[in-house]
Each structure stands twice: as C-alpha cells, then as structure tokens.
Amino acid sequence: MTASPQAAPPTPTAADAPAIIARGITRSYGTGAGTVTALDSVDLDIARGAFTAIMGPSGSGKSTLLHVLAGLDEVDQGSIRLDGTEITGLSDDALTRLRRDRIGFVFQSFNLLPMLSAEQNILLPLELAGKRVDRAWLNTLTSAFGIADRLTHLPSQLSGGQVQRVAIARALVTSPAVVFADEPTGNLDSRTTDEVLDFLRLSVDEFGQSVVMVTHEREAAERADRIITLADGRIVGDEDLRGQR
C-alpha cells in the first residue's frame, strides 16, 4: 500500500515573521578606560502582534535597547531588521521616513502640543507624512479609548488620563509596525498607570498591534505577554506570560 504524500508545510508569510529581528547588537559609549558597554552582543526577536516588556536596573541597557531597535541610536556592531527592513546603515533621511511611517512612540511625558486640539495631536503624524486621514480608523481608535467627545479640546482641557489616551491614539493612527513605549507609566499615580496599561493592552488584543515597552516596574511589566530582563547589557531573563493570564 502506497503511503499518501504528506502535505507541504505552509509557507511562512510576512505576518508570521517577527516584527523585529536583532542579531549581535553591541553599543558602547566613551573611549579607552572610560568605555561603557551598554549592549553586549544581544540577540532578540520581537513577536508581531504581542506586548513585550523590557526590564532591568538602571544602567542595564534597557533604554539603549529600545533606542537602537527604534532607530533612534546606532549600533557599533550587529543587525536589526524592523518589519523586514534592515535599519542598521540606513541614511538619516531613510531612518526619518521609517520612524514616521512604521513606528509609533509613547513617551513618558506624552509630548502633546499644547496649541493643538486632541484630534490635531492625534493626526499630526499623518500630517507630517503627507498621508490621507482614514476617518473610520480614527473613529475606531477614539471610540475604543473613550475620547471621541473630547477631540476639539486642547490638552490643558483634558484630564491626565485623557491626555495619555490621546498620546496612545497618536502612536496608533498610522497603523505602525511597532509601537515603542519608553517608561510610559514612570511619573503616574497607580490609577492612571492602570489606565495607560489597559489601553496598551487593548491595542494589542483588539487591534493586533506590536508593542515594546521599557519599564522598571515589575507590576507594569506583568501586563505584557513577555518580559525580557537585561543586566550589564545582556539578556538574563526571558519570561513568557501568555499562559498565566
């Protein structure tokens, strides 16, 4: 009896590939005896459509890792591919376009422009890129984040929680490949911290966004799908939390 041929395994698609692939990335500062190695031959894949937290003590390299993954800082050695594009060695203009088109940022201070309305702040990345506004997507975001009725208000007329939601909506409005959040809860009270984490979690669970968050707070990191821990520029811990929820 002839065995039936086995079906060929499915061909990987771009949607299956990691959002970020980093290999052998090294970054040092200073010269001679004063040289500090912030990252020491780090290998890392960031899953697409997942919430990844990066932790570590001060000086561990976590902020440097976020900055090089986002193309905000250069590496001395190694390779970084973001959404299929090799970003090491890109020109300043090409990096600017990549950050504008395929990366969203959520900052600790949130960086809303005080003279612009909430809607204008959200749409600013599209305006800078010369892109058309997708009103359906804007409505989806602002409704999900509970700010649809606050779009004409200036940041000074919004509550602290509403400001954070506007900032996260701004990071998502271009449908980026990756959203980077740099200590987004570092200066917040516990209630507002929970709110920010809820909306980052929502962006992953409801919109399939890839989020990378640097934090020094274990409780905040535990809202992620995965916690990567750094010490002395190297990965010393990698926890998968998806089965614990």
pLDDT digits (tens, 9 = 90+) for 33-88: 788 899 999 999 999 999 999 999 988 999 999 999 999 999 999 999 999 999 99
pLDDT over 60 (residue 226): yes
At residue 159 the predicted structure's pLDDT band, cuts being 50, 70 and 90, is confident
Is position 31 within any domain?
no
Q: What is the C-alpha separation between 119 and 212, in angstroms, rounded?
A: 25
Is position 118 within any domain?
yes
Is position 8 within any domain?
no
Chain mean pLDDT for the chain:
89
Q: What is the C-alpha separation between 164 and 34, in angstroms, rounded?
A: 39
| Beta carbons within 8 Å of 94's beta carbon, 6+ residues apart | none
Structure tokens belonging to residue 194: 């929970």
Is position 84 within any domain?
no
Give the structural domain span for 58. 47-72+90-244
**pLDDT value of residue 243:** 72
Question: Are the beta carbons of 140 and 146 closer than 8 angstroms?
Answer: no
Percentage with pLDDT > 90 across the chain: 69
Total Cβ atoms within 10 A of residue 51: 25
Structure tokens belonging to residue 205: 């669970």
pLDDT over 60 (residue 3): no
Is position 124 within any domain?
yes
Is position 206 within any domain?
yes
At residue 5 the predicted structure's pLDDT band, cuts being 50, 70 and 90, is very low
**First-to-last CA distance in the chain?**
48
pLDDT over 70 (residue 7): no
- Sheet strand arrangement including 211-214: 103-106, 178-182, 211-214, 51-55, 226-231, 234-240
- 139: enclosing H helix or E strand: helix 135-144
Stretch 119-126: mean pLDDT, rounded? 95
pLDDT over 70 (residue 1): no
The position carrying tokens 């996260």 is 168
| DSSP letter (8 states) at residue 242 | G
pLDDT over 70 (residue 13): no
Is position 115 within any domain?
yes
Domain total of the chain: 1
Look up the CATH number of the domain holding residue 184. 3.40.50.300
- 52: enclosing H helix or E strand: strand 51-55
Triad 194, 49, 190: Cα angle to 5°: 5
Q: Give residue-wise pLDDT tens across range 171-187.
A: 999 999 999 999 888 77
Is position 37 within any domain?
no
Stretch 83-104: mean pLDDT, rounded? 91
User: For residues 68 and 14, which has the higher predicted lDDT (pLDDT)?
Assistant: 68
With H, G, I as helix, E, B as strand and everything else as coil, classify residue 97: helix
Stretch 111-122: mean pLDDT, rounded? 95
Sign of the CA dihedral 31, 34, 39, 40?
Answer: positive
